[in-house]
Amino acid sequence: MSAQTNTWFITGSSRGFGRSLATAALKAGDNVVATARRPEQLADLAEQYGDRVLPVALDVTDAAAADAALAVGIQKYGRIDVVVNNAGYANLSPVETTGETDFRRQFETNFWGVYNVSRAALPLLKKQGAGIVIQFSSVGGRVGHAPGLGSYQAAKFAVDGFTRVLAAETAPFGIRYLVVEPGGFATDWAGASMQVDDIPQDYRETVGAMAELLRGGGASQGDPDRASDILVRIVHADNLPSHLLLGAGAVGMALNYSRSQIAEATAWQAVSASADTGADYPVDLPAVR
C-alpha cells in the first residue's frame, strides 16, 4: 500500500484514538473519511486539511447509516483502503448490579457497531480485491479479568473472535485484518466518557479498586499520537500483523497470560485427551495447586 495514497474510513474520529489516527493519516498524506456522531467536532481538521478529509455523521449502531457513510466515502475518493472500527466506550460497575439496558447499550456500540461497519465494508473491499480492516480491541479483550468492565471486555472478546472468522472467510478476496490491543492510554476513555455507578460495599475490593486506578490515571501511560503513527507506518510499510499490542504494560500482561495458558493446558493435557473415545480412561487429575 505504500506506493499509493490510502483512503481511511475511521469511526469515532472526534476524540481519543480516532482523532489521533485521523490526524496521523492526514499528516502522512492520506485521505480520511472521519466519522463521528457529531461531525462538526471535526471542523478544525477539515479547515486544516481541506479536501483530504471528509467529516461524516455516523452512529455505528445504525446499520443503514454505516452503509450510507461508506458510500459517501467511495463517492468522494473512489475507494476505501483502510477501515478502522475505533468507536467504543465503557461504563464501570459490577456485572451483578449493571442494568441490562446499560450492559446491552455498551455491547451495541462495542460489538454490533463493529459488525455493522465491517459487514457494510465487505462488498466494497471484495470489489476492489484489497483492503485492510483495523479493529480496535483492548489487551482486556485478550486477557480479560478487569473488574467492572464486563460488557466492554465481553464485546472485545467477541470482536476478536468475529475478526478471526472474517479473516478466514475473506482471505481469497485480498482483505486483511489487524486487531489492535492497547493497554492504558491517555485518552478520554476512562474520563468523561465513562460512567462509574455507585459501587456496592462488597465490590469495593475489586471493582472499587479498578475505579480508583482508572480515575487516578494510573493505567494511562500510553501516547495515542505515537500509537497512531505506528499504525499508519504499519499500513504504509504493508507489514501487517494479525494482532498488535500497544504499550509495555499490554505486552507484559499478554505474555504472562499466554504463559499461564500454556502451563494450564500442559498440566491438564492427559485429562483433556482422556475425553476421546478409545483413549486411556480414567487418568489421574493434576495435583491440587
Q: Closest by alpha carbon to 189, among 6, 73, 15, 50? A: 15
Active site residue 49: no
Decide: 148 and 210 in contact? Cβ < 8 Å: yes
Task: Choose, from 137, 138, 151, 220, the residue flagged as catalytic.
Answer: 137
Query: Of 77, 138, 156, 203, which is the active-site residue?
Result: 156
Catalytic hit among 115, 152, 177, 203: 152
Give the separation between CA 43 and CA 30, rounded to whole angstroms.
18
CA 172 to chain centre: 24
C-alpha cell read off for 195: 460512567
Q: Which residue has the cell 504494560?
A: 249
How many Å separate Cα 58 from the centre of its chain? Answer: 17
- Upstream peptide bond of 182 is cis (omega within 30 degrees of 0): no
Strand partners, 266: none
User: Would you say 94 and 84 are in contact if contact means Cβ atoms under 8 Å apart?
Assistant: no
Query: What gap in Å lies between CA 6 and CA 73, rounded to an integer?
Result: 12
Q: Is 121 in contact with 80 (CB distance < 8 Å)?
A: yes
156 is catalytic: yes
Q: Walk across the sheet containing 131-136 and list its strands.
A: 53-57, 31-36, 7-10, 82-85, 131-136, 175-182, 243-246
Residue with cell 468507536: 87
For residue 90, which amino acid is it?
A: A
Active site residue 257: no
What residues are annotated to the active site? Answer: 137, 152, 156
